[in-house]
A = this chain, B = another copy of it.
Amino acid sequence: MPAVRLSDAEWTVMNAVWDREPATARDVLDAVVDETAWAYTTVKTMMDRLVDKGALKARRSSAAVVYRPAVTREKARRSAMRSLAERAFGGAFGPMAHMLLEGRGLTAKERRELKRLLQEDHDRRRTGSGQ
């Protein structure tokens, strides 16, 4: 499984679909109308291409085609991260996380949250509560 590569515009479309779950091209157009100035056919073309790519599934429902994700947002995110780690960080997640934390990109709240996460993870590991 080649792990669907999404382009910028495709992320925009997929995000709209993930937020609505079943969505028609018109739904997506409406959803992104103030983010982009796309024509209806632009959205439609992208969605059909996404079906080809295996990122969306299409099913005709009388009037129009209804699309829904063929991959979860999680999966897509994860594979985008993996791919970034690959090309930009030589495959290592560590330095990537490092940069993420060290920079001023996080809010104090997020930082707290992450620390908690690390702590939890640490505990989970030492008590061996797998899964």
Contact = CB atoms under 8 A, between A and B. Distances in A.
Q: Place the interface of chain A in its size category.
A: 35 or more
How many copies of this chain sit in the oligomeric assembly? 2
- Most chain B CB within 10 A, of A76, A80, A85, A115, is at A115
Contacts of A98: 113-114, 117
Nearest to A80: B88
A63 interface: no
A74 B103 CA distance: 11
Interface string A1-22: 0000010100110010000000
A102 interface: yes
Contact of A88 (B76, B88, B125): B76
Interface stretch (A24-32, A39-47, A64-72, A104-112): A104-112
A23 interface: no
A96 B110 CA distance: 10
Contacts of A33: none
Contact of A78 (B15, B74, B103): B103
Nearest to A117: B101
A130 to B, nearest CB: 11
B101 A118 contact: yes
Contacts of A102: 117, 121
